Structure 1
């Protein structure tokens, strides 16, 4: 009876150490990237700061840019799960809007600081800009597959693809410099409310569609 318990304890300890190392890599990389820029920081520097070998970093993250987008899979799964598990009467737009509101509300930094941190990290790095676009595409594809499954449409037909693009755009626009400029154009005491206003208007615009937007007389 003692051997299995000992083995289980060792396995649990190893898993905790792995989680701690992964989190340390994320936090160290984020601090370095924000201070010096993604392209100026090497994997070897990050590894040295965490006191591990450089090759060990790739055990946790297949590519350097994955240190920035470490929560991509989790966010994608949350988006799909919220859509598939939404309440009767709720639309996919309602479900995604609610999730994004919750994510912003749960942020300890606040929307303004979260966005500022992301934009400073990505900066002019072509690698990170391309990686971010790939992330949006993956979100869009996963959402389109779920919408097609539920509606019975072909996964590559127009309705689920267009709807998925619109839903992904809501998340994508939360990483736009224009949103940060809009927030910062308001007094500090009103910036959180300004973010909420901007996002709510974006959701409403998606809900209405663009058929009559800016129609010429």
Structure 2
């Protein structure tokens, strides 16, 4: 049993409307560009009022990033429900490996829609950076709870932001390759050992990473 309350009819209708509006907005943004499409045009195409759009999405930018909260919620559940003996790092490693599995299986085409839209809008690029920062900040509390650390403990903040940054970096490299037209299977195969080495380094700790060698002798 998951303990989650079954979704009622009203919630299902609300979610269906939310998904339909977001899908319509992304289709229009992909076809015409984010800046060229108005919320009023999205409402007409989705068959709803402009007020309904804003009832579900506070801003136009939120239409692009719909579903981000769901992804973060799933990551938080994965951390909370990890099996005994499983480190939080292993959750992030598994998440990255799953991303590469999806790429290799050819399941990334639909997920390219948002990166393509964001690529054409500086405003969305800035919003994405803000969103990633908010996700990292939210994970700090999750890590503190998972380790029983005090609220003012610095370690959960450092570790959470480090792992969040690793996940974001891998995400960006993956989609940069896909947007550049790299073959998905070859891309996944190329990145797997690099991703494994990155997480292995994090797992081993950073104390011995990039230790400076002896200074070269000065020229006479």
| CA root-mean-square deviation | 2.8
Deviations 1:16-66 (A, max 9, x none): 443332222111111222222222211111111111111210111111111
Count how many residue pairs are aligned between Structure 1 and Structure 2: 204
TM-score w.r.t. the length of structure 1 is: 0.78
Please, which of 94, 118, 131 is the counterpart of residue 135 of structure 1?
131
Higher helix share: 1
Which residue in the other structure is 1:6 paired with?
none
Contact map agreement 1:25 1:47 (CA 8 A) in 2 = yes
Q: Which residue of 2 aligns with 1:51?
A: 47
1:36 pairs, out of 26, 32, 36, with: 32
Distance in structure 2 (CA, Å) of the matches to 1:62 and 1:92: 33
Where does structure 2 lack aligned partners over 5 or more consecutive residues?
1-7, 214-220
Check whether the contact 1:25–1:50 (CA below 8 A) recurs between aligned residues. Answer: yes
Counterpart selection for 1:62 from 45, 58, 63 = 58
Q: Give the Å deviation of 1:109.
A: 5.1
Moved more, 200-209 or 179-188: 179-188
The alpha carbon displacement at 1:115 in A equals 6.3
Aligned with residue 121 of structure 2, among 116, 120, 125: 125
Deviations 1:43-93 (A, max 9, x none): 111111111111210111111111121112211111222112211211100
In structure 1, the gaps of 5 or more residues are 1-10
> Aligned pair 1:207/2:220, yes or no?
no
Match of 2:107 among 98, 106, 110: 110
Contact 1:144 1:155 in 2 (8 A): no
Aligned to 2:216: none
